[in-house]
Amino acid sequence: MMSNPINRRSFLGSSLAATGLSAAAASLSAAEQTAAKTGKTQQPIRNEKILHARQVALDILKPTQKELEHGLELHANSLVFDSYGFAPRAAIDGDKLAAAINDHASTAELQDLREDMSMTRCVTDPAEQREFKEAFDAAGVTCIFQNAGEEGQDPMRLIKRLARFTYTTDMLADFVPKAVTPDDIEQAQKEGRHCLYLTGNGVPLTQQWETTTDEMKYMRIFFQLGIRMMHMTYNRRNMLGDGCAEPANAGLSDFGREVVREMNQLGIIPDVAHSGWQTSLETAQVSEKPMVASHSTCASLHHHIRSKPDNVIKAIVETNGLIGICCIPRYLGGSGDISRLIDHIDYVVKKFGIDHIAIGTDVAYTSRNSTLENKKVPRAPRSRTPWRSLWPPDSFRTTSEMSTSVSWTNWPLFTVGLVQRGYSDEDIQKIIGGNMLRVCRESLS
């Protein structure tokens, strides 16, 4: 694969420097020398938040210098595809949000304003744009399967987030364009750019229930707008099936089966990351194309409603799909850190094969400016638990070290961790991007 001349020196040098290996950081590898000749290098990262996250992860992994250098260079030379995640989030404009609160804006208005600013100020604010680009470059991620549809089925609700990321990719096309085909993703990697491939957290439905064909008509429209993957359910029960938080675990409805068939026809990947186990299993049984649990974990290592048991993973694998392991400590269980993330990857590879695993982080880098801006906003009264979050509590205690070790900008160290576990370069490239790219191709075939 062609190397990325923009990102490599930044995250390779800063990561090596963070371990005290400054001599190694200063001496360029053969690949870096090639990059240097293009004149497209940048200054090493000096973002203390990113460097702190690196150090926390490195203290856990404790790689040798050889493992670290090899992993970072492999990461730099690979197509890296986050199977479900978020582009770096901008800080809000605290003054603007405070003014809206003082002007008695509704809860819905405030939520929309907050979300819009976090997703689009990387375009309009120079400081946020610098932070956005620095985090993206530090992660060395080619493509994110970007959450671009708010949780639910209402097309008007789903289109808002899609519009925000369409705007961002349109306005920052030289840095992070929208990809609409797998070829676009490969081209971005060759050109040393990043890109977003879009997914929605729900299937758009009109809720008119005239005919199944009429009810599914917006699926095609959202596909035409760039959505390439959709959640079957989001935690709760809907007309397609039971979500992961439903104790009944009733499975897929007749209408849900029709939706899976329509997804297959259109080229939309069915995603059961937030679906119940029976819904996930039956989706796999119906789907004639690869489907995924894009950001989940293995129930055999840690039982959680967001994990998947072996029989469900096996069914997903039989569609030629994959499971993406996420970076949420309470879903990972155990140590809840970067080492535990690799444990889940190991489990899938050993049990189901190297072709059916990815990393879907489900976490985002948040601008360092957020703390200051949030202080400007009056404290809101405590609100009711959101509908999507009505699920059983658990006793797992997440620590700062856990969360920091699996920070989104630590993507290069996920690759280092895989090097430590003895994976070949070819197999690592499948895990960090190749498998997800394959699923995307087969979905559109």
* pLDDT tens, residue by residue, 248-291: 999 999 999 999 999 999 999 999 999 999 999 999 999 999 99
Structure tokens at 359: 């990393």
Q: What is the pLDDT of residue 356?
A: 98
Q: What is the pLDDT of residue 39?
A: 40
Q: What is the pLDDT of residue 43?
A: 60
What is 62-381+414-444's CATH number? 3.20.20.140
Q: Tell the burial category of 237 from Cβ atoms under 10 Å away from its Cβ (0-12, 13-18, 19+).
A: middle
398 pLDDT higher than 70: yes
Query: What is the full DSSP assignment across 239-296?
Result: SSB-BTT-TT---B-HHHHHHHHHHHHHTPEEE-TTB-HHHHHHHHHH-SS--EEEEE
The one-letter amino acid at 156: M
* pLDDT tens, residue by residue, 145-163: 999 988 889 999 999 999 9
Lowest mean pLDDT among 103-107, 132-136, 217-221, 436-440: 103-107
Cα–Cα distance between 118 and 92 in angstroms, integer? Answer: 6
368 pLDDT higher than 70: yes
Q: Tell the burial category of 217 from Cβ atoms under 10 Å away from its Cβ (0-12, 13-18, 19+).
A: middle
Cα–Cα distance between 272 and 295 in angstroms, integer? Answer: 9
